[in-house]
Amino acid sequence: MKILGQTLQQQGLQYRRAIANLSSTALCANVNAIKDLATPAQVIAMVKANGYGHGIRSVAGRLADHVFALGVASVDEAIALRAHGIQSKIILMEGVLCRDDLPLVSSLALDLVVHDKAHLEWLAVHRDPIHDVWVKADIGMGRLGFFPEHIRGVFDQLRTFSHVRGTLRLLGHLSHADSPKHPINHTQISVFSNLVKHLQVPASLCNSAAIASFPQCHYDFIRPGISLYGASPIDEDHAVFSKLKPVMTVKSRLIAIKNYAKGQGIGYGHDFICPQPMRVGVISFGYGDGYPRSVRSGAPVLVNQHLCPLVGRISMDMMTVDLTACGSAAVGDEVVLWGDGLPITEVERFSGISRYELFTNVQNRVKFIWDDI
């Protein structure tokens, strides 16, 4: 083990086979760009799903002092953040799964989202203090939340609970925010606007896509998710999203280079047949690391800053690349799979897998290295 430790120390972390370089500078720049767009609305930073695959503790620790609150999906995520020393406001965006979770909400000083009548029943017999509560309205998303006609009654009931001691707020979610021209957006916005008008409570409607597309709907709080991590939530061009910087750059290295003749098949099933003599490199990264098996030949990677197309089928631990565009490539050279210089949307385009899923699929074989550590 000592020999292994010495070898890793001598080589340095940058020589690991699969690396995700993460940029605190980019993360902070993205937060500031979003703030500039939405001021005076305050930011609820979504760090659920392991910080969109970027590491929930690492991301939350860097964002906590720069945002109003952190958004998580489960009590377990909140427990992990409190254990890590995160003392800032944490919101349970999906509420609690059972009555037994409510004591944890109180002891960990979590904000609670209420979206089902069962939550009201559990709160009615709960006696420990609950701080801020957010009431979720289903304005057409067809997922969590009370229907609009029931919202006033929910607020009235919550106000009778003496142990709910903080502020009551309203949440909504647009079903088509990533398609800003869809007419249903305006219908749902109208429903939410009427609720805010009649309830006169602080409110939050906008996720990343809606922040840019519907600036009139920022209300008191915005809830950026994927935009924090440097990816646009919509396919249309927008000035604010052009300013975003990728936080994660996924890299590996060439571990072999071979010359193949015309007609030679590459990889499992010989899905790719060399149309002429070709120089082909093998990259030490595959679907076991989180790169989609569904990626088609032609997907770009960066080899020494040269765009080169992948060829053949993605394997569990390896993929193959046409090095025609990079004649200088050598074994050991760095390959960027997405991130700085190569938007994750390029992988999305060739795989049919959304950028959200790509981020969260990066596996634990990939070594995460933050630039400020």
243 is catalytic: no
Indicate the residue type of 256.
A
Instruction: Give the pairing type, strands 248-260 and 69-72.
Output: unpaired
In angstroms, the CA 78 to CA 88 distance is 11
SS3 content of the chain, % helix, strand, coil (to 5): 35, 25, 40
Catalytic residue of the set 48, 52, 219, 251: 48
Containing 295, the helix (H) or strand (E) segment is: none
In sequence order, what are the beta bridge partners of 335?
252, 303
DSSP letter for each residue of 94-160: T--SSGGGHHHHHHTT-EEEE-SHHHHHHHHH--S-B--EEEEB-SS-SSSSB-HHHHHHHHHHHTT
DSSP class of residue 293 equals: T
Contact 38, 212 (CB under 8 A): no
In angstroms, the CA 58 to CA 50 distance is 9
What does the CA dihedral 234, 237, 238, 243 come to, rounded to 10 degrees?
Answer: 100
DSSP class of residue 296 equals: P
Tokens of 84: 């890590």
Tokens of 265: 């098949």
In angstroms, the CA 275 to CA 44 distance is 52
Residue (of 334, 339, 285) closest to 314 by Cα position? 285
268 is catalytic: yes
Q: How many residues does the chain have?
A: 373
DSSP class of residue 339 equals: B
Tokens of 203: 């409110």
In angstroms, the CA 270 to CA 263 distance is 10
> Does residue 40 have a cis bond before it (omega within 30 degrees)?
yes
Catalytic residue of the set 219, 268, 291, 356: 268
Active site residues: 48, 268
